[in-house]
Amino acid sequence: MNIPAELRYTKTHEWIKEENGIVTVGLSDFAQQELGDLVFVNLPQVGDAVTAGEAFADVESVKAVSDVYSPVTGAVCEINEALLDAPESINQDPYGAWFIRVENVTGTVETLSAAEYEAMPKEG
């Protein structure tokens, strides 16, 4: 399983990258494997408020839908519209297929380093 060392992770399997106060969020390789072939993504709109620990998007496989949780509280400043046309990119390149970028971050859930995330027991 691919867990890039430079990213941070949540217990709900999102990855986080922070650059210049902007937080980018996506789903981990483990998450995409568990979810199987994804066929659709529901994303928020630019300007929407997101809250740490609450769902901001969902991803659909053929027979299931799963929430994606925001690691931070803030405002969505960019969404990855390419995912809407190519949800398979989450399966193919989970760390390239970011979901949203968040600015004005005021709060965060507890995050894990790559090593901690790797060590975390995961339900199979």
Partner 1 sequence: MKLIFEQSHPGHKSQFLPASDVPAAALPEELARKSALDLPELTEGELARHYEALAQQVHGVNKGFYPLGSCTMKYNPRIDEDAAALPGFTGVHPLQSETTSRGCREVLRQAEERLTAVTGMDRMTFQPAAGAHGEYMGLLLIKAYHERRGDKNRTKVIVPDAAHGTNPASAAMCGYQVVSIPSDANGLVDLEKLREAAGPDTAALMLTNPNTVGLFDPNILEITRIVHEAGGLCYYDGANLNAVMGWARPGDMGFDVVHLNLHKTFATPHGGGGPGSGPVGCKAFLAGFLPGSALATGGEAPCQVRAFHGNFLVVVKALAYLDTLGGEGIREAAAQAVLNANYLMHLLRDGGYPMAFDHTCMHEFVITLEKLKHEKDVSALDVAKALLDHGMHPPTMYFPLIVHEALMVEPTETESKESLEAAAESYLEVLAEANENPADMHSRPLHTYVRRLDEVTAARSPIVKYEAPIA
Partner 2 sequence: MGSYVPVTPEERRAMLERVGLPSVEALYADVPEGVLLKEPPVFTGGFSELEVRRHMERLAEQNRVFSTILRGAGAYDHYIPAIVRAIPAKEAFLTAYTPYQAEISQGLLQSIFEYQTMICRLTGMDVANASVYDGASAAAEACAMVRERRRTVTLVSACAHPDVIATIRTYCWGSNHEMRLIPEKDGVTDLDALRAALDDQVSGVYLASPNFLGGLEDVSAAAEICHAAGAKLIVGANPMALALFKTPGEAGADVCVGDGQPLGMPLSYGGPYVGFMAARAALMRKLPGRIVGQTTDVDGKRAFVLTLQAREQHIRREKAGSNICSNQALCALTAACYLGAVGPDGLREVARQCYDKAHYFAEKLASIGLPRREKGPFFHEFATECPGGPEKMLVALEERDILGGQPMGDGRVLWCVTEKAERKRLDEAVAVIREVTNL
- Cα separation of 22 and 32, whole Å? 24
Q: Which segment (36-44, 51-59, 71-79, 100-108) binds partner 1 by CB under 8 A?
A: 36-44
Choosing among partner 1, partner 2, none, which partner's interface includes residue 1 (Cβ < 5 to 8 Å by kind)? none
**Partners of 24 in beta bridges:** 17, 101
Site string (14-43) toward partner 2, x via CB under 8 A = -------------------------xx---
Only one residue has tokens 């979810």, namely 35
Among 33, 34, 29, which residue's Cα sits nearest to residue 15? 29
Reading phi first (left if > 0) and then psi (alpha if -120 to 50, else beta), residue 53 is in left
88 binds, among partner 1, partner 2, none (CB under 5 to 8 A by kind): partner 1
Binding stretches for partner 2 (CB under 8 A): 39-40, 45, 58, 60-65
